[in-house]
Amino acid sequence: MRWIELTHRWLGGTIGLLLAAIGLSGAILVHRDAWTMVPHKHDAVARSADQVAMAVRDALQDGAGRLETVTFAAPGFSVDRLEFAGGRGAYADQTGHVLVRWNSEWARPELWLFDCHRHLFAGDAGETVVGLAGLAGILFIVTGSVLWWRTRRTFSFRLLPMRLSRPAIVRHHRDLGIVMAPLLLLSFVTGTVLVFRPLSSVVLGPGAAAAITQAAQPPRARSASLGQTLDWTVMLRAARMRLPRADFRALIMPRGQSGLITLRMKQPWEWLPNGRTTIWFAADTGRVVAVRDAGRLPAQVRAYNILFPLHAGAVGGLAYRIVMTLPGLALVLLGSLAVWTFWGPRKKAEKINTSTRGGRLASGERFSMAEGVRGATEIQSDRQR
């Protein structure tokens, strides 16, 4: 039990603030569409292939640079997001009229906040750190649950500590942690698997990682540059004929020597915001090369595709977004107060208690090195006096 206590305390004191930052940014991002300020975001969503094709043509003629991606309007955020080479971007209404432009993600809070949550402003290296923090969070839940079990008789839930003393903070940390453990575990597991895809074989069964990687591979195609005379109306009408109930979600232009234009579509039953139903077009001629129906993907891949909606609160409406806000806010309290109790100044009596393992003080109180047990014992003693 001693090593469990030390592991929990030292990890909390070391990365508590990192987890608090990830939790706070995640809690805010769950409601990103609600607080992002842009005109026309509450307009009705256009499903017409002709109107979407017109918006694509306007985006390609924009002088901001080489167009890379168009994310189409969706219910709740009915504007198109254009991404250009070099980090530039814009929001446009569904007729193609540009509403807002930016030359860097720092110009838009919803963009840099997402980069903070996913990459810590450090690209792939930062994403790896976030994934490792998620693994540490899972370890926190396991060790914290074990430590809480010994003091379960003193459970008393409070949103905030009763007072800013070390015993009260430790008790609050312990009881809040066990209440939020299921939602925290959901957040940590889904987020970590999204970062470290090989872990999907642990969660979804053997072979899941290979199946997911294979399902993400585009079909082979000869190298070709983007045609200048592509008929986008014909292309999108062809997509609509193949999938009449699906919505247009994103258009990704060829990168490198891929030679393919990727169209992401979302069928009514899909949870993933941009869907996983995909149509590929030849970049030079616009002909349909391949169609991948998300409903026909292997079961493990379909299960993997619901991890992001569960993690980001992208399914279930406002009620589920509120639910997924709670673990983020809980992480702010748990992480920041863990750092404070670990590194903050201690009173003389607390230092004596820490150095006295299994001994008795003059008052007859018995303390151990475990912060949770010591905090509960002090509070019980206060009640008896």
Q: Which two tokens stand for residue 302?
A: 């379909």
Residue 385 has pLDDT above 80, yes or no: no
What single letter denotes the amino acid at residue 255? R
Name residues whose C-beta falls within 8 Å of residue 186's C-beta, 6 or more positions apart in sequence.
310, 311, 327
Higher pLDDT, 361 or 148: 148
Q: What's the pLDDT band for 371 if we cut at 50, 70, 90?
A: very low
Residue 376 has pLDDT above 70, yes or no: no
Residue 88 has pLDDT above 90, yes or no: yes
Among 342, 136, 300, smallest CA distance to 213 is for 300
Q: Give pLDDT, residue 360.
A: 38
Q: Give pLDDT, residue 257.
A: 64
pLDDT in tens, 115-158: 999 999 999 999 999 999 999 999 999 999 999 998 889 898 88
CB-CB contact of 330 with 20 (8 Å) = no
CB-CB contact of 68 with 258 (8 Å) = no
Q: What's the pLDDT band for 348 if we cut at 50, 70, 90?
A: low
Q: Where are the alpha helices (DSSP H) in the chain?
A: 2-29, 32-35, 49-60, 109-119, 123-150, 166-195, 200-204, 208-216, 232-242, 299-304, 307-312, 317-343, 348-355, 371-384
Q: How many Cα neighbours within 13 Å face the side chain of 164? A: 6
CB-CB contact of 283 with 227 (8 Å) = yes
Q: How many CB atoms lie within 10 A of CB 372?
A: 24
Q: Give pLDDT, residue 381.
A: 45
Residue 358 has pLDDT above 50, yes or no: no
Average pLDDT, the chain: 88
Q: Give pLDDT, residue 351.
A: 53
pLDDT in tens, 232-247: 999 999 999 999 999 9
d(CA 114, CA 170): 31
Q: Which two tokens stand for residue 114?
A: 């997402």
Angle made by CA atoms 78, 261, 258, in degrees to the nearest 5? 140
Q: Which two tokens stand for residue 191?
A: 């987020």
Pairing label, strands 89-92, 67-71: unpaired
Q: What's the pLDDT band for 353 if we cut at 50, 70, 90?
A: low
Q: Give pLDDT, residue 7.
A: 87
d(CA 92, CA 103): 15
- Tell me what percent of the residues of the chain surpass a pLDDT of 70: 89
Among 375, 350, 377, smallest CA distance to 174 is for 375
pLDDT in tens, 34-65: 999 999 999 999 889 999 999 999 999 988 88
Q: How many Cα neighbours within 13 Å face the side chain of 188? A: 22
pTM of the full structure: 0.87
Q: Give pLDDT, residue 192.
A: 98
For the ranges 156-170, 199-213, 316-330, 364-378, the lowest mean pLDDT is seen at 364-378
pLDDT in tens, 248-276: 999 999 976 678 999 999 999 999 999 99
Q: What's the pLDDT band for 80 if we cut at 50, 70, 90?
A: very high
Q: How many Cα neighbours within 13 Å face the side chain of 187? A: 34
Mean pLDDT value of segment 77-91:
95
Residue 369 has pLDDT above 90, yes or no: no
Residue 363 has pLDDT above 60, yes or no: no
pLDDT in tens, 301-341: 999 999 999 999 999 999 999 999 999 999 999 999 999 88
- Tell me what percent of the residues of the chain surpass a pLDDT of 90: 74
What single letter denotes the amino acid at residue 121? F
pLDDT in tens, 157-183: 888 998 888 888 989 999 999 999 999
d(CA 246, CA 265): 6
